[in-house]
Amino acid sequence: MSTKILVIGACGQIGTELTMRLREIYGGEQVIASDIREGNEEVMATGPFETLDAMNKSQIEDVCLHYEVNEVYLMAAMLSATGEKFPKKAWSLNMDSLMHVLDLAKEGKIDKLFWPSSIAVFGPTTPKHDTPQHTIMEPTTVYGISKQTGERWCEYYHQKYGVDVRSMRYPGLISWKTLPGGGTTDYAIDIFHKAVAGAHYNCFLSKDTELPMMYMEDAVRATVEIMRAPAEEIIERSSYNLSGMSFTPQDIANEIHKHLPDFSISYAPDFRQQIADSWPSSIDDAPARKDWNWSHEYGLDQMVVEMLSHLK
């Protein structure tokens, strides 16, 4: 049977690029993009699109049956900083959408499911350096709480019902194709837009706040690779640690200075500083590298060159 994929949240920060990559691999007609609103021209023009509310199970089921979908990528979520402003709304969106697709898989209506977790599952009591796969979590944001809960449900549905669900804990993701989407790590996207525009950047985190990050190209590739790996290689059915690089706002500013000497930055930490302080500064992703041969390609210097060249 041919692979037929539904991407829920296809117009978001990751969803847009993931949809286009999947269409390159499987063909435009095989990948159905869906979101609560229409997406960019490229997403709309290269394959089917359905307006879909991730919190409406019957809508998801109808689309899956209509297109004979066998794989779902659930990318719809409310991110960390936005979630703190609307905690109950974030909880409902992040949890209800996951339960809907887990139940569809349990009922045999889809064969395989990808759901992204995040470094937000970790908290102030988590070891900050080289955070291991299995460790203390205790998240302090509603986003992190929903992601940790989601991990437990994924593991439960796999063990109890044999659902083939796969997941990774994304670090902060950096892309030139989409604008910042309400995440605490999104300063690392905004900074490039300001730099290329010749504008001063006032960073909402302190200059020495080190966080795990990843260039979007690596994140999309990791997502495709974990879904294409044989089921027996996927040992962790909660979510895999995933690592690319770690840096501070000062590190990234220094790297930008090498290309744009006039770029200026200042620091005015706001409520997002407390969120960032609760997260790890670096991640140990040895299980992902061992189980399904994950390896990242982009470091800080390459990523800065790519971002500046594309945004210019």
State the catalytic residues. 143
Strand, coil or helix: 171:
coil
Q: Residue 263: which H helix or E strand, with range?
A: none
Residues pairing with 245 in the sheet: 213
- Residue 28 has what DSSP assignment? G
Q: Which residues pair with 49 in a beta bridge?
A: 33
Own/partner contacts of 256-263, CB < 8 Å, gap of 24 or more, are 256/191, 256/192, 256/195, 256/304, 256/308, 258/304, 259/304, 259/305, 259/308, 260/195, 260/196, 260/308, 262/198, 263/195, 263/201
**Structure token pair of residue 273:** 């500083």
Evaluate whether 202 touches 272 at the Cβ level (below 8 Å). Answer: no
Distances, alpha carbon 286 to alpha carbons 104, 115, 222, 304, 310, in Å: 32, 20, 14, 26, 32
